[in-house]
Amino acid sequence: MREMTDLRDTVEQWRGLQRQIEDDLGLLELAMLEGDTALAAQIEESANGLAPRLDELEFQLMLSGNYDRRPAILAIHAGAGGTEAQDWAQMLLRMYLRWAERHGYKTDVLDETPGEEAGIKSVTIEIRGPYAYGYLKGERGVHRLVRLSPFDAAHRRHTSFALVEVMPEPEEAAKIEIRPEDLRVDVFRSSGAGGQNVQKTSTAVRITHLPTGIVVTCQNERSQLQNKETALTILAARLAEIEEQKREAERLSLKGQHVEAGWGNQIRSYVLHPYNLVKDHRTDWETSNSSAVLDGEIDPFMESYLKWKVGEAA
């Protein structure tokens, strides 16, 4: 029923746009017959307002995957390099939170492991809003930062890496078959927020999915039961993403294209020294306004990726 409602809304948006265009065309014909320049100017203004709406609806046609309408679960993992890489992971977290805020999406931190001196070792967040996964799915991969390190006394240039994973939140965890006998559940004391009670009891949960070797932890909730439920949601999302990758790999193999294993490819570089440049290596889209990108203005990269994917699928 939810899918039917979504499809009905989509169709109604297109029909509403069509009706408005037909009305404007009728009025334009009348204005031309009567020589009414004021009415013609109003119609021109209306048409200018329709163009961005048409572009938006056409863009949404590229978000037609199985999970594109779903909320997203996004994980960031600092690469090798200690504090430098952990600070880069923190910068990426802020970038995605600012992007979500700009779109009016709601975010929740599901799990976070802080760095020893600064930044974060890893973090998992949930981003809820229409087409959240559809927009974010192109962000998965390795992100590379080049800058003058604030942690280096000599202020030398450093290169840091972080891995971004993006998974669709399944509509129901039950849709993804997770057998209890395939799980190993460990509990331990949380090191995250939550007050002294978290430290006194074993509320944090680590779940290992034995068939795939996927390990999921959650320690941000106050109770062990809440942490377990959240961990199972993340696990279901990871399994759903694996299935999506299998379908994509099969499609590419049928086209005779090389299928790269894993998410280890470097997808984007953020250069802050000796010049400013952010470049996506898949689409060649780039901008010199690196500060805006790190403040969450990443929609042009997402749009260029989706258009590139449409071209790849053709």
| pLDDT > 70: percent of the chain | 89
pLDDT surpassing 60 at residue 196: no
pLDDT, position 78: 94
Of 5-19, 58-72, 184-198, least confident by mean pLDDT is 184-198
pLDDT, position 313: 59
pLDDT surpassing 80 at residue 193: no
Q: How confident is the model at residue 195 (pLDDT cuts 50, 70, 90)?
A: very low
Of 20-34, 96-110, 235-249, 252-266, least confident by mean pLDDT is 252-266
Q: How confident is the model at residue 8 (pLDDT cuts 50, 70, 90)?
A: confident
Pick the closest to residue 215 from 62, 51, 17, 75 (CA basis): 75
Written as one string, the DSSP assignment of the chain is: -HHHHHHHHHHHHHHHHHHHHHHHHHHHHHHHHHT-HHHHHHHHHHHHHHHHHHHHHHHHTT--STTTTS-EEEEEEE-SSTHHHHHHHHHHHHHHHHHHHHTT-EEEEEEEEE-SSSSEEEEEEEEESTTHHHHHGGG-EEEEEEEE-TT-TT--EEEEEEEEEEEEPPS-GGGS---GGGEEEEEE---SSS-HHHHHS--EEEEEETTTTEEEEE-SSSSHHHHHHHHHHHHHHHHHHHHHHHHHHHHHHHTT-----SS-SEEEEEE-SSS-EEEETTT--EES-HHHHHTT--HHHHHHHHHHHHHHH-
d(CA 258, CA 281): 17
pLDDT, position 197: 42
Q: How confident is the model at residue 174 (pLDDT cuts 50, 70, 90)?
A: very low
Within 10 angstroms of residue 267's Cβ, the number of other Cβ atoms is 19
Per-residue tokens: 295: 């403040």
Q: List the beta bridge partners of residue 214.
A: 209
Mean pLDDT of 280-300: 96
d(CA 34, CA 215): 72
Q: How confident is the model at residue 125 (pLDDT cuts 50, 70, 90)?
A: very high
Per residue in 230-261, pLDDT tens? 899 899 988 888 887 787 777 656 545 544 43
Pick the closest to residue 96 from 62, 57, 129 (CA basis): 129
Q: How confident is the model at residue 88 (pLDDT cuts 50, 70, 90)?
A: very high
pLDDT, position 148: 92
Cα 189 to its chain centre, rounded Å, is: 30
User: Based on C-alpha coordinates, what's the Rg of the chain?
Assistant: 23
Q: How confident is the model at residue 262 (pLDDT cuts 50, 70, 90)?
A: very low
Within 10 angstroms of residue 215's Cβ, the number of other Cβ atoms is 14
More confident residue, 87 or 153: 87
| pLDDT > 90: percent of the chain | 43
d(CA 218, CA 190): 9
pLDDT, position 173: 46
pLDDT surpassing 60 at residue 269: yes
pLDDT surpassing 70 at residue 30: yes
State the pTM of this model: 0.75
Contacts of 57 (CB under 8 A, 6+ apart): 13, 14, 17
Contact 68, 133 (CB under 8 A): yes
pLDDT surpassing 80 at residue 190: no
Tokens 């258009």 locate to 307
Cα 149 to its chain centre, rounded Å, is: 27
d(CA 248, CA 265): 16
Mean pLDDT of 174-197: 73
What are the φ/ψ torsions at residue 62 (nearest 5 degrees)?
-80, -10
Mean pLDDT of 10-15: 88
Q: How confident is the model at residue 62 (pLDDT cuts 50, 70, 90)?
A: confident
pLDDT, position 258: 46
d(CA 240, CA 172): 11
